[in-house]
Structure 1
Amino acid sequence: MTALSVPVVPPALRRGDTIAFVAPSARINHIFPLRIARARAFLESQGFLVREIYTILPTFSFRANLNTRVEELHEAFRDDAVRAIVCCIGGLTANEILPHLDYQLIREHPKIFIGSSDITLLHHALLVGAGLRTFYGLGAIVQLGEYPMPLDFTWNHFLRVLCVEPDKDFAPSPEDWLMPRSLYYTDEFLDWCGEPDNLRARKTKPSPGWKWLRPGRAQGRIFGGCLPSILQLFGTSWQVSYKGRILLVELPEGMQPDTPWPLELVRCNLADLGTRGVWDDITGLILGRPYRHTEEQLVEWEKLVLDITEDYNFPILAGVDVGHTDPMLTVSLDALCLLDSEKDEWAILERGVKY
């Protein structure tokens, strides 16, 4: 399977449209009903309709679980009333459904598809199998389910990238292309099941901002996602060529949800990208802010990237608001992207949706 040459760009979102929640990987909607309820209530308060497509099976069966996830995703694409599909959360099992998706159905019913973490696997598969341009960004349980509401930066950028506002000029201004940066962030871990954690806002702190690990200027179509998920797809039918692309990389949480991805695994993962020829192919590299890294770990992470890519001269931008960090940007995957360290700019040069 090779990526289709003509990309499918989904229609823009408008107030009054229906947004579907789907759970193609981890199945935890019923475990965290308050998060889902808050996400729904917030979207409805913003003028959207919400359809949660989620079936609770009485007992676990691998085949029933797999078939349910596939059919729920098909149902979301098949329903012409649905204009955007928001994944509830990531997980570890998105890879199971890739061989069973009806890519022709998805291509014939294009719509906004957004998610992060191991949803990276679906971003790759939907581009290669259906030619669909998708979006790396918020999830229903994680970002939309924040207490008391999503972080302003996360929500405002979601609207800016995906939604047509009634009073908005459709002609893009130069500022529209530039990716913004948040002045604050949080990586505080809260227990979503217990109180008071489930009923208080996370503490934010000042953001250190972007950092150019290597200066330069580069242009290419942006693609990537969660580092270990990217690596899962090499040698499969859903492998995306990174030739001439700008690679987006972010790190997941560790073995426990309140821990970072271990640096020894980061080192191994980065070396795997090298053995697969990715460093030879790409024109630039963007790194999301790592989750729950100490200052010392952050220094080591950045040094690892520089050391492993020391034979290359592509620019590297680190510390951006992407991935397992909040707030979170909405990134139009496969869109033309520009990095320019002299101007201190990261820009997406194409609309991810059509009007």
Structure 2
Amino acid sequence: PVPIKINLLKFLRCISIKLILMGTGLGMVACSPLTVLDPPPIGPRNVIKPKALKKGDTIGLIAPASPFTASVLTKALDQIAAHGFEIKLGKNLQNQFGYLAGRDEERIGDIHSMFEDEEVDAIWCIRGGYGTSRILPYLDYDLIAKHPKMLIGYSDITALIQAIYLKTGLIGFHGPVGSSTMTAYTDQYFQLVAMNGFEPVSIELNNNHSGSGTNNIYRVITPGEVTGELVGGNLCLLAALAGTEFQMDFTDKLVFLEDVGEKPYRIDRMLTQLLHSSNLAKAKGIILGEFADCEAKEGEFSLTLKDTLDFNLGGLEIPVCYGFSFGHISDLCTLPVGIMATFNTEKKRLDLLENAVV
């Protein structure tokens, strides 16, 4: 007989999740020892484009990361309803387990339920925070692939969008969370990409610069025009996924990165980790969003954010820019992960070369 290698910690953790979920009727879809120990291989696959959103559709609202206040929930419900959508709340949406919006098995259960529910047309994450990367090995990617739907969010939701895309080919939407403020710019590109995105879309830089601080000015680090598959998200999450089965292959990709509240030395550490552990240097180009609140305090021994980014990315000999309109800011565009796109640093424009929805 061939010996079988088992990760005991993963096995026991998955068994505990499965036993709890069996009481909710979701035990068989939540995870199994086979799913965790022998995950679906990551490799070339056909892209799956979700249905476009339209008024009257039902949004499944979930919290796969951190908990939230009552005012955040009210804001999300009001904004989603204002777009003409119906709303279905995740069973465990308002749960709390310390800094998590419920235990892992509860958040997994809501994700699986929303994908499987035929009444739900799209899934919107109410906020980011922390915790999404914890549940990635235990998701049922076969179930998700059989019930493809639009998944919307950013920040910590980066991990969920990337894992699902790598495992299934389903296009994910790096855009406002349910509780984001829907400014005119944010709403314009959300509707163009997620609701009317049957044709290619050109995303222009927002010149109002609604971000905070002095680091919200667009600038070119290395000029050029580049075409590639659009991937990326929050820098902290991408660095955290390095070395795991959910790490992105950046070769020939058009990579977008953003972060918030990280001092320059931490930005340096995360970029260094990606450059050392992944093939980020083989990307076609890099678009940096607005890194809100990422400067060192006055008097600290530190490089500036500008120097940190230039120092790490300026020598890659690929087009790189800073300050495009996405990140933890008021005016942010919606970026479909997995779509072919062209970016021109001088024109300050991202052209999506294909429809993101069907």
TM-score between both structures, scaled by the size of structure 1: 0.81
Instruction: Report deviation, 1:274.
Output: 1.5
Instruction: Report deviation, 1:280.
Output: 2.8
What is the aligned counterpart of 1:182 among 185, 206, 210? 206
Q: 2:242 maps to which residue?
A: 234
Instruction: Report deviation, 1:61.
Output: 12
Q: 1:331 maps to which residue?
A: 335
Counterpart of 2:74, as a letter, is A
Instruction: Report deviation, 1:270.
Output: 1.3
Q: 1:15 maps to which residue?
A: 55
Kept after mapping to 2: 8 A contact 1:24/1:70: yes
Comparing 53-62 with 243-252, greater Cα deviation is found at 53-62
Give the Cα separation in 2 of the matches to 1:120 and 1:58. Answer: 21
Deviation by residue 1:93-124 (Cα, 9 ceiling, x = unmatched): 11111111110110011111011111111111
Counterpart of 1:7, as a letter, is V
Kept after mapping to 2: 8 A contact 1:21/1:52: yes
Kept after mapping to 2: 8 A contact 1:184/1:207: no
Kept after mapping to 2: 8 A contact 1:157/1:329: yes
What is the aligned counterpart of 1:24 among 37, 42, 64? 64
Instruction: Report deviation, 1:294.
Output: 5.5
Q: 2:32 maps to which residue?
A: none
Give the Cα separation in 2 of the matches to 1:272 and 1:85. Answer: 31
Give the Cα separation in 2 of the matches to 1:273 and 1:61. Answer: 26
Give the Cα separation in 2 of the matches to 1:106 and 1:285. Answer: 29
Give the Cα separation in 1 of the matches to 2:103 and 2:323. Answer: 37
Kept after mapping to 1: 8 A contact 2:201/2:351: yes
- Where relative contact order (Cα < 8 A, 6+ residues apart) is larger, the structure is 1
Q: 1:103 maps to which residue?
A: 141
Matched, 1:346 2:350: yes
Matched, 1:112 2:112: no
Q: 2:312 maps to which residue?
A: 308
Instruction: Report deviation, 1:208.
Output: 5.8
**SS class of match (1:287):** strand
Pairing of 1:31-180 with structure 2 (within 5 A):
32-55=69-92, 56-57=94-95, 65-141=103-179, 143=180, 146=181, 150-164=182-196, 172=199, 177-180=201-204
Aligned residues: 314
TM-score between both structures, scaled by the size of structure 2: 0.80
**SS class of match (1:129):** helix
Instruction: Report deviation, 1:3.
Output: 3.6
- For residues 82 and 343 of structure 1, do their structure 2 counterparts lie closer, same or farther at Cα, with a shift above 3 Å needed? same
- For residues 264 and 62 of structure 1, do their structure 2 counterparts lie closer, same or farther at Cα, with a shift above 3 Å needed? closer
Matched, 1:275 2:299: no
Counterpart of 1:235, as a letter, is G
- For residues 213 and 57 of structure 1, do their structure 2 counterparts lie closer, same or farther at Cα, with a shift above 3 Å needed? closer
- Structure 2 unaligned runs (5+)? 1-40
Counterpart of 2:160, as a letter, is L
The RMSD of aligned alpha carbons is 2.8
Give the Cα separation in 1 of the matches to 2:280 and 2:100. Answer: 37
Counterpart of 1:135, as a letter, is F
Give the Cα separation in 2 of the matches to 1:86 and 1:216. Answer: 35
